[in-house]
A and B are shown apart, each in its own frame.
Chain A
Amino acid sequence: MKKYTTCLKQIISVVLVVIILVGFVWISLLRINHRLDFTTLWGYRYRLWQGFKMTLIMAFASLFVSLFIGSVAAVAQKAKFLTVSYLAKFYVQVIRGTPLLVQIFFFFYIIGTAWGVDNRYVAGVLILSLFEGAYIAEIIRGGLESIDRQQFELAKAVGLTPAKTFRLVTFPLLMARILPALTGQFASIIKDSSLLSVIAIPELTQITQEISADNYRLFENYFFLGLLYFVMTFTVSLITRRLERKYKHENSSE
């Protein structure tokens, strides 16, 4: 009987929340006399689909490149050669400390042009990866530092080579610790890719802005845009929840 009432409570609460949120948006729309018409989006479905694919491609490409850059930067910070270490630290601090918009303009119109990176898709992926790489570097660094020294001492005592230590000890422990943060970062990559619209890369936000310039239906267009981004990031978080469970089992000895 108790289980039934708590379940009922949950359902009622969910319904209430939905009513409150939808109600708030509805009243806001009434206040500005806006007539909703989502069918206006149907005519643009081909371009929206192209934009959706482009966002996914840019985000995925950036994921891999930024993971690489982040790993290198995290390890480089511990390098014995001081210049390398400082370079990595400087990179992380500056990139994390400046807005992506500033970086896009700086790297595309100045550095990119100076060194011949004219293809804006390549430039877009590189800029986004450079940006996210700095955050990933911090995540990895934090993860590495949180691993108990004992683990490494034990590995040495058991006679594991550095390579084996990494594969059997460091990597699984690191994964378990940083996977939640890394997914958050991948969701960020997907959302931050929207800023690439300022250099006219035809991803989802750029397409939506062009459509808005055509039909002025800001509410329908941007609501749908938000929905599409949410679908992408939510899918990512569902996938990583399964991955987290996998790594938790492997480390249950903790």
Chain B
Amino acid sequence: MKKFFVVLAVALMAAVLFCGCTEKKDELVVGMELAYPPFETKDEQGKPYGVSVALAEALGEYLGKPVRIENINWDGLIPSLETGRVDLVISSMTITEERAKTVDFSAPYAHAYLALLVNKNSPVEKVEDLNHPERIVAVKKGTTGHVYAQNHLQHATINALSAESACVTEVIQGKADAFIYDQLTIYRQNQANPENTRAVLIPFQESEKWGIAVKKGNKKLLEQINAFLKDFRAAGGFEKLTELFLAEEKKTFDALGFPWFFE
């Protein structure tokens, strides 16, 4: 009798385990890290919301497939492409040679510059001032800010944190002299913390191009994405996105004379 129950339990477990292997639905799975407003974030109900989400849904419409957004932390995005957990990644990811070794990128759809969020009491005026043994730089792990710091700021102490909010907090509290991140976020954070921070928005390197990443070798999807981007741009899709999500920022960038993301 006991043996019967054991066999039954094992059979049930096996059945449940194999139920996990369902057939693949015909949907477009898009990976992004929903921690980067206003590009990738969540609305009050916790649903994905932002520029990249809207772009993903426009792509889904173009391809005639439903879109499913997967929220994946930054370091897991490229591995998720490799293992097939997602079909593509739209996460404001900069196209770099290093990343292009592991994944294929679409044509660039936006470009951004790095900027500095500096603590008010820090003597740092420009990025070169950071390359000094007494300076402390906060960066987010795995971002181009992190790469820049590793390549150009060898004398400084580099603290690589996992969350953008932690980096900003460290600058505000004076635990770091500066946070290296994209212009737009730096501008927003400076606006939110005028008493403790300064922003150095002047570009100090070539602009970084953002691209959509697909698994290496997925030529078909890549061609479809590039065709979509061409159409979308021609139809004024990017202007619509700017209007919806980035109206304030566009005004400021225009006033400061900085080139806009989608040009």
A contacts, CB < 8 Å to B: 32-34, 105, 109, 113, 118, 120, 197-200, 206, 209-210, 212-214, 216, 218
The residue that B83 contacts in the complex, of A34, A105, A210, with Cβ under 8 A, is A34
Taking a contact as CB atoms under 8 Å apart, the answer to whether B166 and A216 are in contact is no
Chain B residue nearest to A218 (CB atoms) is B79
CA of A199 to CA of B78 in the docked complex: distance in angstroms? 24
CA of A213 to CA of B215 in the docked complex: distance in angstroms? 17
Question: What distance in Å separates the Cβ of B31 from its nearest Cβ neighbour in chain A?
Answer: 13
Question: What distance in Å separates the Cβ of A216 from its nearest Cβ neighbour in chain B?
Answer: 5
The 3 A-B pairs at the shortest CB distance, nearest first, are namely A213-B142, A200-B159, A32-B83
Give the tally of cross-chain contacts (CB within 8 A).
53
Q: Would you mind naming 11 contact pairs between A and B with Cβ atoms under 8 Å apart?
A: A32-B82, A32-B83, A32-B84, A109-B169, A109-B173, A113-B175, A198-B162, A198-B166, A209-B75, A216-B78, A216-B79
Taking a contact as CB atoms under 8 Å apart, the answer to whether A216 and B159 are in contact is no
CA of A214 to CA of B79 in the docked complex: distance in angstroms? 12
Chain B residues with Cβ below 8 Å from A113 are 173, 175
**A interface, by DSSP: helix, strand, loop or mixed?**
helix
Taking a contact as CB atoms under 8 Å apart, the answer to whether B83 and A213 are in contact is no
Chain A residue nearest to B74 (CB atoms) is A213
Given known contacts A118-B175, A213-B75, what 18 new A-B pairs fall within 8 Å (CB)?
A33-B82, A34-B82, A34-B83, A109-B166, A113-B173, A113-B175, A197-B162, A198-B161, A198-B162, A198-B166, A200-B159, A200-B161, A206-B160, A213-B74, A213-B141, A214-B142, A216-B75, A218-B75
Contact bitstring B165-177, A, C-beta under 8 A = 1, else 0: 0100100010100
CA of A65 to CA of B161 in the docked complex: distance in angstroms? 26
Chain A residues with Cβ below 8 Å from B162 are 197-198, 209
CA of A216 to CA of B79 in the docked complex: distance in angstroms? 6
Question: What distance in Å separates the Cβ of B164 from its nearest Cβ neighbour in chain A?
Answer: 13
Chain B residue nearest to A206 (CB atoms) is B160
CA of A43 to CA of B166 in the docked complex: distance in angstroms? 29
Chain A residue nearest to B99 (CB atoms) is A216
Chain B residues with Cβ below 8 Å from A216 are 75, 78-79, 82, 102
Question: What distance in Å separates the Cβ of B121 from its nearest Cβ neighbour in chain A?
Answer: 13
B194 within 8 A of A: no
CA of A167 to CA of B84 in the docked complex: distance in angstroms? 62
Question: What distance in Å separates the Cβ of B100 from its nearest Cβ neighbour in chain A?
Answer: 12
